[in-house]
Structure 1
């Protein structure tokens, strides 16, 4: 997902911490990037539980919301495709937990079907709502703390809302 950010870390003996740059960085891939061993399993048509989605798949591609979606589901990848000659659906798959979310258009918005140990779309919607609650700030309002045991992105200050990252 769209999860670019450049952080300047100040390193101490036990941890490193710093703020994201306000600029939206761009990077040139210097070598072939290995794809994950598995992108996850595409769920069957009846797998998971269904509810009305508060947000549609555009949050996965819009700059600020996509940054939040990546924080909420750091191991997830998404793609869109038509299923059985029907409308295009967006699949969010987490290969680490085998969790999934499938977004489908309805007459009145979006429906999400999700399953697995994590409710991925619930996590994405919650992260985007927190971002909006704090005034939809740019990435300069976020920081990172890294220690031997964990790493997390936080909003505002290290005691503010936080999202753990895979280490």
Structure 2
């Protein structure tokens, strides 16, 4: 057995032991698709140093640890800043990741959760490197798989990698939030990017009884996997599946630049019943996010204290929360008191017994999206 084959088998074994790979059809698919074929352009490795908090350095195909990295159960960044790929630079770069190869155990967990059956047609939102696309093709046949990618360069790389494996699904370059109506109705829709709201186009392009699997989150950085069943009336509903699943947001759903901060000294101050610990915990942050869906968070050092500031990018409302003398204080400004909404939502959730996210339900209709417990 070659080093590559051994590393591949070890990865499959780890996923089976870990429980993300549960059924024989998906085990065969995982064993048939070599991940390194989708990383021949290299990837970025996270590095830290005294001069920066987080940076990324390229690992090229042929580097001593490239192959080992391909078969780690980790997400591997393949593009930063929207255009920069590993072969473009030498040394660290301090820019935000914009495309990646998701950790295989999450990919296979999601594919298992999709509950496909032989003959099903699948629309994949976000081709990425093409690894998950290849897994779908190995399980269902390439003729049953349509994958859409917004970035032409990313799509081209994926097409080449899939071609090396003689795998030819329908690949589309376009806005995945619009789906791909030419192939509807689909039995399953799966998104490999995060969304703030599930687009109605996905619901409309899925047959009644079909499933949509998507990671739903927001600008406070907490998200969860949702599995929705499409109903005959053109709506979709289901539950969150838990597990703190996180993906890069679809580019149209990413937060806008904040620009100039408001005058944080110009507001009404009062004591608050909750502090910024609600923003640190994944579950409570998800609950808070539902109350202030258009808010971004900024942490500042001001007047010798740390202030966590929420800013609503639509209304301009803001809330600055900080600790002083053993008390939590909040100062708010703008047309809507943001922290009042946080307190009310968080209080209702606590009064209900602080249910886990797996107990939350989600509904998508032409009028909008609701998530509740």
Q: Under TM normalisation by the shorter chain, which class is it?
A: 0.7 to 0.9
Deviations 1:78-105 (A, max 9, x none): 1211124x21111111101111000122
Distance change in 2, residues 1:77/1:45 (3 Å): closer
Structure that is richer in strand per residue: 1
Q: Alignment partner of 1:51: what SS?
A: strand
1:103 alignment partner in structure 2: 321
Root-mean-square deviation over aligned CA pairs: 2.1
CA separation in 2, counterparts of 1:78 and 1:108? 23
Tell me, which stretches of 5 or more residues in structure 2 are unaligned? 1-219
1:72 to 291, 300, 303: 291
CA separation in 1, counterparts of 2:250 and 2:364? 26
Distance change in 2, residues 1:150/1:91 (3 Å): same
> Any conservation in 1 of the 2:222–2:283 contact (CA below 8 Å)?
no
In the alignment, is residue 43 of structure 1 matched against residue 296 of structure 2? no
Shift of 1:5: 0.7
1:63 alignment partner in structure 2: 282
> Any conservation in 1 of the 2:244–2:282 contact (CA below 8 Å)?
no
Shift of 1:129: 1.1
Shift of 1:35: 4.5
Distance change in 2, residues 1:142/1:49 (3 Å): same
CA separation in 1, counterparts of 2:252 and 2:368? 24
CA separation in 2, counterparts of 1:129 and 1:30? 28
Q: Which has the higher contact order (CA 8 A, sep 6+)?
A: 1
1:19 alignment partner in structure 2: 239
Q: Name the stretch that deviates more: 96-105 or 38-47.
A: 38-47
> Any conservation in 2 of the 1:41–1:98 contact (CA below 8 Å)?
no
CA separation in 1, counterparts of 2:271 and 2:328? 6
In the alignment, is residue 149 of structure 1 matched against residue 367 of structure 2? yes
1:126 to 344, 347, 357: 344
Distance change in 2, residues 1:133/1:122 (3 Å): same
Instruction: Give the 4+ runs in structure 1 shifted more than 6 A.
Output: 30-34
CA separation in 2, counterparts of 1:30 and 1:2? 10
Q: Mark the structure with the bigger radius of gyration.
A: 2
1:163 alignment partner in structure 2: none
